[in-house]
Amino acid sequence: MPLPVPDLDDRTFDQLAAEARVLIPKNFPEWTDHNPSDPGITLLELFAFLLEAAIYQTNRIPERSLEHFAELVGVTRGEGEAIERMLGRALETLEPKYRAITEDEFEYLAKDEYEKLTDQPDTIARARAILDVEDTPYVFPDEQFIKVIIVPNDPDNPEPRPDDDLRQDVFKFLRSRCLITTRIKVVAPEYTQVQIETTVVRDHASRLDRKAVQRDVKEAITEFLSPLTGSVDRKGWEFGRSVFRSELYQRIEDTPGVDHVKRLLMNGDETVGELQLSSPTSLVSLDVDENKPDVTVVDTQREK
């Protein structure tokens, strides 16, 4: 994509002239005639015009300067190549991250770059890096680690966890790409057990039978809370994010064949609005019917 070039200054002639007029009473109190016919105002407007022209030139960086900037990152302009294309190639050379310093860089390397350089696509579904500080009495500063949590791409497992070999491989990969003093831990995610029980009323106008509605509701809840495909963006349940009753209501009632939710229990409670996870790095694991929610479907007639 082309490198965006920001406006260095966007002030106009009118703004420049107005700013100058405001300064007259403060700096030249004897100057009381501010009409356009005054010679001083004429000079003020002339300088505002010249300054606006200089601003225009500042925002129009010559192509030869842009070529020099691109050469600093090893990109030279080809014959007949558009300047936007050259700048886009220069930007692409800056995007890859080969070293990990920030938490975002650790996450990027642990997932995207690890898969590229080790030729193991779709091995890791998600990665999360956090700064972990351990209290060490009588020692200053406290022990600090970069904890990298990796979630393997294992859709058949409701609680995907990396094995020791994968954790060791990722550790070695990151170890060679971080600062010498950085201490790293590559760990599996934590899971908080959550019970979901619901009774839904089947839409009498739907052609789906009760078993089909029950199956679809179970799949909708399981998918929504999944560590791989969950949450609103379907990119996996966010680490440490609470489970909200309102979101479950919406997801269930959006399921085809469901008229409305009659009853919803979260961890056996029909009134709780939010279930907090055990830690900021925890994910959700369903704890009913072999990691499936408990769903009961009744017909509309049963409501009468």
Convert the pLDDT of each residue in 173-214 to its tens digit.
Answer: 999 888 888 889 999 999 999 999 999 999 888 888 889 999
Going by C-alpha positions, the residue among 272, 233, 226, 227 that lies closest to residue 249 is: 272
Question: What percentage of the chain exceeds 90 in pLDDT?
Answer: 43
Going by C-alpha positions, the residue among 63, 97, 93, 89 that lies closest to residue 1 is: 89
Torsion of CA 230, 236, 238, 240, to 10 degrees: 80
Residue 145 and residue 67 share a domain = no
Residue 136 and residue 84 share a domain = no
Per-residue pLDDT reduced to its tens digit, 258-303: 999 999 999 989 999 999 999 888 999 987 555 567 888 898 654 4
Quick one: which H or E segment has residue 24?
A: helix 13-27
Residue 196 and residue 182 share a domain = no
Residue type for position 24: I
Question: Among residues 188, 204, 236, which one ends one of the domains?
Answer: 188
Query: Is 209 within the bounds of a domain?
Result: yes
Domain hosting 270: range is 192-303
Query: Is 146 within the bounds of a domain?
Result: yes
- Residue appearing with tokens 């008229």: 259
Query: Is 40 within the bounds of a domain?
Result: yes
**CATH number for the domain that contains residue 133:** 3.30.300
- Residue appearing with tokens 């106008």: 205
Distance CA 90, CA 70 (A): 6
pLDDT at site 43: 93
Per-residue pLDDT reduced to its tens digit, 28-58: 989 888 888 899 999 999 999 999 888 887 7
Question: Could you tell me the pLDDT band of residue 304, with boundaries at 50, 70 and 90?
Answer: very low
Residue 110 and residue 171 share a domain = yes
Question: Among residues 159, 188, 217, which one ends one of the domains?
Answer: 188
Query: Is 244 within the bounds of a domain?
Result: yes
Distance CA 209, CA 217 (A): 12
Query: Is 123 within the bounds of a domain?
Result: yes
Residue 181 and residue 121 share a domain = yes
Residue 126 and residue 205 share a domain = no
Query: Is 299 within the bounds of a domain?
Result: yes
Residue 63 and residue 155 share a domain = no
Going by their DSSP bridges, the two strands 184-187 and 143-152 should be labelled as parallel
Asked if residues 255 and 216 have their Cβ atoms less than 8 Å apart, the reply is yes
Per-residue pLDDT reduced to its tens digit, 115-158: 777 777 788 999 999 988 877 777 666 778 899 999 999 988 88
Going by C-alpha positions, the residue among 286, 34, 250 that lies closest to residue 157 is: 286
Query: Is 255 within the bounds of a domain?
Result: yes
Instruction: For residue 253, give both structure tokens.
Output: 């009632």
Coarse DSSP helix, strand, coil percentages of the chain, rounded to the nearest 5 percent: 35, 20, 40
Query: Is 293 within the bounds of a domain?
Result: yes
Residue 141 and residue 39 share a domain = no
Asked if residues 197 and 288 have their Cβ atoms less than 8 Å apart, the reply is yes
pLDDT at site 127: 93
Any idea what DSSP says for residue 78? P
Question: Among residues 188, 216, 236, which one ends one of the domains?
Answer: 188
Residue 227 and residue 131 share a domain = no
Q: Which residues of 182-192 are buried (b: 16+ CB within 10 A; e: fewer)?
A: eebebbbbbbb
Going by their DSSP bridges, the two strands 294-298 and 274-275 should be labelled as unpaired
Residue 184 and residue 197 share a domain = no
Residue 293 and residue 235 share a domain = yes
* Average pLDDT score over residue span 15-21: 91
Residue 123 and residue 87 share a domain = no
Q: How many domains does the chain have?
A: 3
Per-residue pLDDT reduced to its tens digit, 61-90: 778 888 888 898 888 998 888 988 998 888
Asked if residues 126 and 151 have their Cβ atoms less than 8 Å apart, the reply is yes
